């Protein structure tokens, strides 16, 4: 169980955004598609309706499977990174436009010379093959997709055990 903490961390982060989106929608502070009520501006602090939903969610403890509790509380029975993407969408759009405005280059390229000694010591191929043929473009969307994919694989892997 070396990776148990990592798995709990990723799962809890995704659940946090899912719960936040559902609570904001239930309290009327967030309406999908309405630019005047975006998810990132929702504040459920001391909101009685949000408190009732969270109380109902937490009162069940582990008496039923967490997926069923999640389904009953927010209407979604599985993990989804979509709420996290939606929450950070304004930031992602700003970063894209700012990078275009300033001409910033996203990512890095490998020319076969960086850390050459450590790569050869590890017995990896330095010239040709994987390192020189890799895609050198890495952006925010790719990062979020990798984060979501790794989380889904980790969660699915835990169910198979």
- Give the chain's domain count: 1
pLDDT score recorded for residue 157: 58
pLDDT score recorded for residue 150: 72
Q: Which domain holds residue 51?
A: 4-160
pTM for this entry: 0.62
State the helix-helix crossing angle for 66-74 and 4-26, rounded to 10 degrees: 20
pLDDT, one tens digit per residue, over 18-53 is: 999 999 999 999 999 999 999 999 999 999 999 998
pLDDT, one tens digit per residue, over 77-91 is: 888 999 999 999 999
Scored b (16 or more CB within 10 A) or e, 32-62 reads eeeeeebbeebebeebeebeebeeebeeeee
pLDDT, one tens digit per residue, over 107-159 is: 766 666 555 555 555 555 555 444 444 444 556 666 667 777 776 666 565 54
């Amino acid at each position: 169980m070396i990776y148990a903490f990592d798995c709990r961390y990723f799962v809890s982060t995704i659940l946090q955004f899912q719960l936040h989106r559902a609570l904001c929608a239930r309290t009327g502070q967030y309406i999908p598609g309405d630019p005047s009520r975006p998810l990132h501006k929702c504040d459920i602090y001391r909101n009685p309706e949000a408190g009732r939903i969270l109380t109902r969610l937490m009162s069940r403890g582990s008496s039923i499977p967490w997926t069923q509790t999640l389904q009953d509380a927010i209407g979604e029975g599985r993990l989804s990174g979509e709420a996290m993407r939606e929450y950070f969408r304004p930031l992602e759009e700003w970063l894209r436009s700012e990078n275009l405005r300033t001409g910033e280059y996203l990512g890095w390229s490998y020319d076969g010379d960086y850390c050459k000694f450590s790569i050869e010591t590890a017995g990896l191929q330095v010239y040709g093959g994987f390192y020189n043929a890799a895609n050198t473009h890495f952006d925010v969307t790719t990062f979020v997709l990798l984060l979501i994919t790794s989380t889904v694989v980790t969660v699915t892997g835990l169910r198979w055990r």
